[in-house]
C-alpha cells in the first residue's frame, strides 16, 4: 500500500528488550547444560498474575550447583556483575545482577529466592516447571502455583512500595476463585506458608488455630524493617562487641563497591568517592532517630 504524501507512517514497534533477553539467556543456559527457570516477568505475564508493564531485568532461578557456571559464561560474553553491598547481614545475598553495555536490561540470576524457605527449592520448582516459546526458543517457567507463590512473597517483601502493594491486590483478585487448599499445600512444600501468610490469609477462611509456622529471622528482618538503617541497628545490637566494631566500620566506611552498586561504573574518582561518603553520612544521620527508636523498642520486647 502506498501512503499519502505528507502522512507520517507509524513508527515500528520496539520489541520488549526483556523478551529478547529472556530468549537469549534461555538459549545460553541450554547450550551449556545449565538448568534455568525464568521467574516473575514473562511468567507473571503468561499467567496474568500482575498488571502488565515492561520489566527492567530478566529474573531467573538457577540450580545452586549451576550458578557459578552461568555467571562465568555470561562474564565471558561481556556481561559484568553489579557490585553487591558487602554487609551481607543487612543485605543477604540471594542473586547476582548482571549488566551488559549493549543490552537495555539486566539479568538477575538467583541461586535462591527470599520467601521460599524449604530445602531444595530449585528442585521442587524444576520438577513442576512448564515450557513456553519465546523468540523461537523454549523457555522454562515455574508452574502456575509456584509463580503465584513467587509473586506473593515478592510483593509482600516489597509492600512498602505502592506498586508492589497494587500487585499484591491484583494477585489476590486473580486467585480469589482458585482452590486455596492446593495453594496452601504448595506453599508448605516450598516453605512459604509463613512468608506468604498475608496473601494466603486473604484467600483462606479464617481458622484461629491454623499452623502457619515461623518465617526465618532473615525474612522477618526484611519485611518488618524496610530501611537499611533500622536493620543495621538491630543487627548491631545483637552482635558481640568485636562484631559491632566491624559493623560500624562497614556502615560508615564501606568499600567503594557499596557506593556504586546501583550504577554501571567500575570505579570512582576521589572527588566522587568523597561526595558519596558525605551523602551517605548525611542520610545516616537523618535516619539515626528512627534506628535508635527501633533499638529501644526491641529492648523493651526482649525485656
How does pLDDT run across 204-230, given as a tens digit for each residue?
A: 877 767 899 999 999 998 888 878 888
The pLDDT, as a whole number, for residue 13 is: 42
Residue 40: count of CB within 10 angstroms of its CB: 23
99-136: pLDDT as tens digits? 998 998 999 999 999 999 999 999 999 999 999 998 78
Residue 302 has pLDDT above 80, yes or no: no
**pLDDT over 90, % of the chain:** 49
CATH number for domain 17-218, candidates 3.30.460.40, 3.30.2010.10, 3.30.2320.30, 3.40.50.450: 3.30.460.40
Which bin fits 51, alpha (ψ -120 to 50), beta or left (φ > 0)? Answer: beta
* Banded model confidence at residue 241, pLDDT cuts 50, 70, 90: confident
SS3 state of residue 113: coil
Give me the helices (H) in the chain, please.
17-31, 41-47, 67-76, 121-127, 144-157, 162-175, 180-190, 197-200, 217-224, 228-238, 241-252, 270-302
- The stretch 265-292 carries a mean pLDDT of 79
Give me the helices (H) in 214-269, please.
217-224, 228-238, 241-252
**pLDDT over 70, % of the chain:** 90
- Which of 224, 222, 213, 230 lies closest to 93, judged by CA? 222
4-31: pLDDT as tens digits? 334 444 443 445 778 899 999 999 999 9
* Banded model confidence at residue 292, pLDDT cuts 50, 70, 90: confident
The pLDDT, as a whole number, for residue 47 is: 94
The pLDDT, as a whole number, for residue 12 is: 38
Q: Which residues of 53-87 are buried (b: 16+ CB within 10 A; e: fewer)?
A: eebebbbbbbbeebbeebbebbeeeebeebbbbeb
The pLDDT, as a whole number, for residue 84 is: 82
Q: Rounded to two decimals, what is the model's pTM?
A: 0.83
33-51: pLDDT as tens digits? 999 999 998 999 999 998 8
CB-CB contact of 202 with 172 (8 Å): yes
246-257: pLDDT as tens digits? 888 888 888 777
Sheet containing 95-99: which strands, arranged edge to edge? 36-39, 57-62, 106-110, 95-99, 80-81
What are the extents of the domains in the chain? Answer: 17-218, 225-302
185-199: pLDDT as tens digits? 999 999 999 999 999
* Banded model confidence at residue 283, pLDDT cuts 50, 70, 90: confident
* Banded model confidence at residue 263, pLDDT cuts 50, 70, 90: low
Distance of alpha carbon 272 from alpha carbon 281, whole angstroms: 14
Amino acid at each position: 500500500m502506498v501512503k499519502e504524501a505528507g502522512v507520517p507512517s507509524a513508527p515500528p514497534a520496539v520489541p520488549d528488550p526483556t523478551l529478547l533477553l529472556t530468549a537469549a539467556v534461555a538459549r545460553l543456559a541450554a547450550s551449556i547444560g545449565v538448568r534455568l527457570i525464568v521467574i516473575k516477568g514473562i511468567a507473571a505475564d503468561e499467567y496474568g498474575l500482575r498488571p502488565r508493564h515492561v520489566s527492567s531485568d530478566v529474573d531467573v532461578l538457577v540450580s545452586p550447583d549451576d550458578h557459578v557456571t552461568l555467571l562465568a559464561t555470561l562474564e565471558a560474553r561481556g556481561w559484568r556483575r553489579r557490585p553487591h553491598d558487602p554487609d551481607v547481614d543487612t543485605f543477604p545475598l540471594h542473586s547476582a545482577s548482571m549488566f551488559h553495555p549493549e543490552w537495555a536490561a539486566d539479568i538477575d540470576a538467583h541461586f535462591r529466592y527470599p520467601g521460599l524457605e524449604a530445602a531444595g527449592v530449585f528442585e521442587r520448582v524444576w520438577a513442576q516447571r512448564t515450557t513456553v516459546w519465546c523468540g523461537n526458543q523454549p523457555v522454562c517457567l515455574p508452574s502456575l502455583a509456584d509463580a503465584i507463590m513467587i509473586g506473593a512473597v515478592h510483593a509482600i517483601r516489597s509492600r512498602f512500595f505502592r506498586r508492589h502493594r497494587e500487585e499484591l491486590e491484583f494477585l489476590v483478585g486473580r486467585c480469589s476463585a482458585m482452590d486455596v487448599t492446593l495453594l496452601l499445600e504448595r506453599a508448605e512444600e516450598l516453605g512459604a506458608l509463613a512468608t506468604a501468610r498475608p496473601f494466603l490469609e486473604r484467600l483462606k477462611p479464617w481458622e484461629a488455630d491454623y499452623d502457619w509456622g515461623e518465617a526465618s529471622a532473615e525474612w522477618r528482618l526484611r519485611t518488618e524493617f524496610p530501611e537499611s538503617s533500622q536493620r543495621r541497628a538491630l543487627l548491631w545490637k545483637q552482635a558481640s562487641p568485636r562484631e559491632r566494631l566491624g559493623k560500624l566500620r562497614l556502615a560508615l566506611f564501606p568499600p567503594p563497591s557499596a557506593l556504586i552498586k546501583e550504577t554501571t561504573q567500575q570505579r570512582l574518582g576521589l572527588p566522587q568517592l568523597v561526595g558519596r561518603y558525605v551523602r551517605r553520612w548525611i542520610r545516616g544521620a537523618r535516619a539515626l532517630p528512627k534506628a535508635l527508636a527501633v533499638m529501644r523498642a526491641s529492648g523493651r520486647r526482649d525485656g
